[in-house]
Amino acid sequence: MSKAYVKKSKLLKATLGLKNIMGRHFLAIEQAIRDGTPTAWATSGTPVELLYAMDVQPMLPENSATISAARKYSQKFIELAEDQGFSYDLCSYFKTNIGAVESNVDVTIGGINKPTFMLSSDVICDTHVNWFQVQAERMNVPHFTIDVPHVVSNTNNRQYNYFKKYVAEQVWELLDFIQEVTGHEMNMERSKEVAKNSYDLSMVWQEIYELRKNIPCPISTKDTFGGLFPLFTMPGLKAPIKLYKRMYREAKARVDAGIGALEQENYRLMFEGIPFWYNLKYFAMLEKYGAIIVYEPYTYAFSKFMNPNVTKDMLLNKPIEAMSELMLSFWYIFDLKTRIQKFKETVDEWKIDGVLLHNNMSCRPNACGLYDLKRRLSDDYDIPCLIITSDMNDPRKMNETQVSNQIESFIEILHKRKKK
Ligand code: SF4
C-alpha cells in the first residue's frame, strides 16, 4: 500500500474565529449572571431559539463537558461522579457535568453556573431528562422537559399529525413555564428575528457541507468538529452566521482553485458518532494515509432544518409548530430503515469510500443499531464499514493501539478496492 508522505490538513483561517465566537458566548453568560438576567441549562435537541427569543441566556452542559475533555479534565470529573455511585456505564457527558459542578471549576475547564431553570427533552436520549432531573434536584431549580415521540417506519399520517400536536402543545406550555419562572413574555417580533437567524445559520452550514462534495474536499474535521458548537449554543444570533459565511467563502476559494484540505486526497470517509474530544489529534492519524473525513452525520445533524415540510415561511409565521416538527425529524431519531437509506444517499452524494462507525460506550442511543447498519451497508450496497469502540469523553475507554491497527487494516481494504 502506498504511504506517500501527505502533509497535514490545512485549517481554514476563518475557523480560528470560532474561539472568539465561543468566547462571546461565555462572556454573555457571565454578563447575564452579573445582571440577573435569567439563564437556563438546555440539552441538545431542545428549541434553544425560544430561550433567546424570551431573553433567557442558554447554557449547554454538553458543550461544557467537551471543554473538560479537550482540556484533559473529563476523566477526573467522571471518576468523581463514579465515587458518588454513578455507574461506569452511564453517559460520560453526564458524569463529567456531575464532577465539574461538584468541583465548582471555572468555565475554561468545563465549569457551569447554576441556572434559573433547566430545559431538557428526550428527543435524542432519556439520559438528558434523567441528567437534568438529578441536577435540578441537587441545585433546587425548576426543570421543564419536552417528551418527543419517535417517528418509525410504520408511523402513519394520523399518528404523525398527533405527534406534531402533542409536541407543539408542550412547547406552548414551555412558554408559560418560562414566563412564570422568569417574568419574561414571548415577543413575536423577536422570535421571528431569532428564527430567521437560526434558519440562516443552518443554511450556511449546509452550504459548507455541499462544498465538501468536491474532490478534493476543501475542509476537514479540524473545521467541522469545533465548528458545530455555534449551531447548538447560539442558534438565533447573528455573529455565528458571519463566521460561517467566512468559512464558506474560504472553502469555496479552495474549491475554485482545485485545492483540498489535504495535499493528497486518497480516500474519502464518513465518520458517524461523537468524536473523542480528549484526543482530537487522533483523527490526524488518518491523514498519513491521505484519508479525509468528508461527512459527519453528527456535525451535519445540528443544522436542523432538514425537513422539507418546515419552510422558512412556516418558521417565521408559525415558529412553535415549525420548531415542534423539527424535533420530530432530527437525524438521531431516525429509525434503522431511514438511517440506512440516509447513509446510502450520503455515501453516493459525497463520493465516500468507507464509513467509520463510532460504537460509543457512553451513548447507547447513538450506537444502538450500528452492527445492523454496518451489515446492511456492506451486504446490500457494498459499502465498506469499520466499527470503532470507544467513548467521546472518557479516555479510559479508548484503546489507541487497537483503533490504530483497525484503521490501518481498513485503509488496506480501501486501497485494494481502489486498485481493482
Ligand atoms: S452522549 Fe448520548 S447518552 Fe449522553 S447525553 Fe448525548 S445523546 Fe445522551
Q: What are the tens digits of pLDDT across the range 269-287?
A: 999 999 999 998 888 889 9
Cell numbers linked to 220 = 476537514
pLDDT at 5 over 50: no
Cell numbers linked to 333 = 431519531
Enumerate the domain spans of the chain: 16-185
- Ligand 1, atom 6: nearest CA belongs to which residue? 363
Q: What's the CA gap between 233 and 245, in Å, rounded?
A: 18
Closest CA to 282 of 46, 295, 291: 291
- Ligand 1, atom 8: nearest CA belongs to which residue? 125
pLDDT (tens digit, 9 = 90+) per residue, 43-94?
A: 999 999 999 999 999 999 999 999 999 999 999 999 999 999 999 999 999 9
Reduce the DSSP state of residue 238 to 3 states and report it: coil
Distance 291 CA to ligand 1 centre (A): 28
Cell numbers linked to 349 = 452524494
CB 406 within 8 A of CB 356: no
Q: Residue 349 has what pLDDT?
A: 98
Choice from 362, 391, 393, 397 to test ligand 1 binding pocket (greatest atom count within 8 A of CB): 362
CB 135 within 8 A of CB 97: yes
Q: Per mean pLDDT, which range of 189-198, 224-233, 300-309 is the poorest?
A: 300-309
Segment 279-306 shows an average pLDDT of: 90
- Ligand 1, atom 1: nearest CA belongs to which residue? 363
For 16-185, CATH gives 3.40.50.11890
Atom index in ligand 1 nearest the CA of residue 128 equals: 5
pLDDT (tens digit, 9 = 90+) per residue, 363-419?
A: 988 888 999 999 999 999 999 999 999 999 999 999 999 999 999 999 999 999 988
Label the pairing between strands 267-272 and 291-295.
parallel
Distance 275 CA to ligand 1 centre (A): 12
Q: What's the CA gap between 238 and 406, in Å, rounded?
A: 42
User: Which helix or strand (DSSP H or E) is residue 268 part of?
Assistant: strand 267-272
What residues line ligand 1, using a CB cutoff of 6 Å?
91, 93, 124-125, 127-128, 362-363, 365-366
Q: What's the CA gap between 305 and 161, in Å, rounded?
A: 19
Q: Residue 3 has what pLDDT?
A: 46
Q: Which residues pair with 121 in a beta bridge?
A: 146
Distance 92 CA to ligand 1 centre (A): 8
Confidence of residue 8 (pLDDT cuts 50, 70, 90): confident
The answer to whether the Cα torsion of 72, 27, 232, 284 is positive or negative is negative
Q: What's the CA gap between 182 and 245, in Å, rounded?
A: 34
Atom index in ligand 1 nearest the CA of residue 124 equals: 7
Alpha helix positions (H), 228-305: 229-233, 239-256, 297-301
Return the exposure string of 254-288: e unless at least 16 CB atoms fall within 10 Å of the residue's CB, then b: bbeeeebbbbebbbbbbbbbbbbbbbbebbeebbe
pLDDT (tens digit, 9 = 90+) per residue, 121-165?
A: 999 999 999 999 999 999 999 999 999 998 888 889 999 999 999
Atom index in ligand 1 nearest the CA of residue 93 equals: 4
pLDDT at 4 over 50: no
- Ligand 1, atom 2: nearest CA belongs to which residue? 363
